[in-house]
């Protein structure tokens, strides 16, 4: 049976894939965003940094009808919180941090107090402290899993780490399921040729992504699985696809490019160094869009 799901940031490029995936599995969706959304769902224009607006939007009807339904609006089953600045240097650092943290706090606070029992929050692999480090930094260990030490220093990654801490606190306080997705570099369906030409042939450049990625359509599937699977309390999941973004054996590549980083277990031959094992095991995620389906390397890669 479909669920009532509020999506924040559903007007964005990633959000549209998430909404599409939710609708395809029979869920009803309300979009909260500052920009117009897809015509498949109703969008309410909301500034998520305004707590009163957030509370009212989360308790809204899902569709505008004439007349409105007799019954009061229903409490949503789930919230998928994607809205926020997606990287540094879109706005000044203080605005990146303030807007991302405040909007996340407002969403989590209002959802918990309204009795919404499932919240999915977008975080980022940037919290591991490599993507926007000051200069070249290594991951703490490989494979990078959800227990790997996080060392964010930039405004964007710090805002995401703060969101994770807020989520954990509210999950414990309200006994609510809050799942945090540490999203990898998102690849759109039309980007494979350009993105993977560099991933495959210039691997030294892409330690910052942990030689990992996530297809936008598979990210939508991760969100849909998060909505469906109940009872896990507070959880953090690496939201990455299965495979390393290179033709090399994963263990050999990280040993050569990160010789001083310890392995906590052997990497599988094709495993993404930022591993998604947990989301596969606990949420039943199954990758549908491997990069090898869309990009064919016609010669053997040489470092």
Tokens of 242: 């299965």
pTM (two decimals): 0.96
Q: Rounded mean pLDDT of the chain?
A: 96
All structural domains of the chain with their residue ranges: 4-129+149-187+213-242+272-289
213 — pLDDT class (breaks 50, 70, 90):
very high
pLDDT of residue 229: 98
- 181, 239 in Cβ contact below 8 A? yes
Least Cα distance to 80 among 178, 8, 175, 14 occurs for 8
| In the predicted structure, residue 295 carries a pLDDT above the cut 70 | yes
What is 2-57 written as a DSSP string?
--EEEEESTTSHHHHHHHHHHHHTT-EEEEEESS---TTSEEEE--TT-HHHHHHH
Least Cα distance to 234 among 147, 145, 172 occurs for 172
pLDDT of residue 74: 86
pLDDT of residue 222: 98
Strand intervals (E) in the chain: 4-8, 28-33, 42-45, 78-81, 118-124, 177-183, 186-187, 214-215, 234-239
What number is the average pLDDT over the span 189-213? 96
**b/e sequence 128-140, b meaning 16+ C-beta within 10 Å:** bbbbbbeeebbbb
Q: For domain 4-129+149-187+213-242+272-289, which CATH number applies: 3.40.50.1820, 3.40.50.720, 1.10.3720.10, 3.90.1530.30?
A: 3.40.50.720
In the chain, what is the straight-line distance between the N-terminal and C-terminal CA atoms, in Å? Answer: 50
pLDDT in tens, 224-259: 999 999 999 999 999 999 999 999 999 999 999 999
What number is the average pLDDT over the span 193-199? 94
| In the predicted structure, residue 298 carries a pLDDT above the cut 70 | no
What number is the average pLDDT over the span 264-274? 97
pLDDT in tens, 147-178: 999 999 999 999 999 999 999 999 999 999 99
SS3 237: strand
| In the predicted structure, residue 300 carries a pLDDT above the cut 90 | no
pLDDT of residue 105: 98
Contacts of 92 (CB under 8 A, 6+ apart): none
pLDDT of residue 71: 85
| In the predicted structure, residue 301 carries a pLDDT above the cut 50 | no
């Amino acid at each position: 049976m479909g669920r009532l799901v509020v999506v924040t940031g559903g007007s964005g490029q990633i959000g549209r894939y998430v909404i599409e995936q939710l609708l395809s599995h029979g869920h009803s969706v309300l979009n909260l965003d500052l920009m117009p959304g897809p015509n498949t769902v109703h969008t309410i224009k909301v500034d998520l940094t305004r707590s009163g607006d957030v509370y009212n939007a989360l308790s809204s009807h899902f569709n505008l009808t004439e007349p409105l339904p007799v019954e009061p609006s229903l409490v949503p089953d789930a919230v998928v919180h994607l809205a926020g600045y997606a990287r540094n240097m879109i706005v000044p650092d203080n605005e990146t941090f303030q807007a991302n943290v405040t909007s996340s706090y407002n969403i989590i606070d209002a959802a918990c107090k309204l009795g919404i029992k499932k919240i999915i929050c977008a975080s980022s692999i940037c919290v591991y402290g490599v993507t926007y480090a000051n200069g070249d930094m290594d991951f703490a260990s490989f494979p990078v899993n959800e227990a790997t030490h996080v060392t964010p220093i930039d405004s964007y990654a710090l805002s995401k780490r703060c969101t994770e801490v807020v989520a954990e606190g509210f999950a414990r306080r309200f006994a609510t399921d809050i799942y945090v997705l540490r999203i990898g570099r998102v690849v759109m369906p039309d980007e494979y040729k350009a993105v993977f030409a560099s991933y495959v042939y210039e691997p030294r450049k892409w330690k910052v992504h942990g030689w990992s990625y996530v297809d936008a359509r598979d990210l939508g599937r991760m969100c849909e699985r998060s909505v469906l699977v109940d009872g896990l309390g507070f959880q953090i999941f690496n939201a990455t696809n299965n495979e390393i973004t290179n033709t090399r054996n994963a263990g050999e590549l990280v040993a050569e490019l990160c010789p001083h980083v310890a392995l906590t277990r052997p990497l599988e031959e094709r495993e993404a160094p930022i591993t998604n094992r947990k989301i596969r095991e606990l949420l039943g995620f199954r990758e549908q869009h491997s990069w090898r389906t869309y990009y064919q390397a016609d010669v053997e890669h040489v470092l």
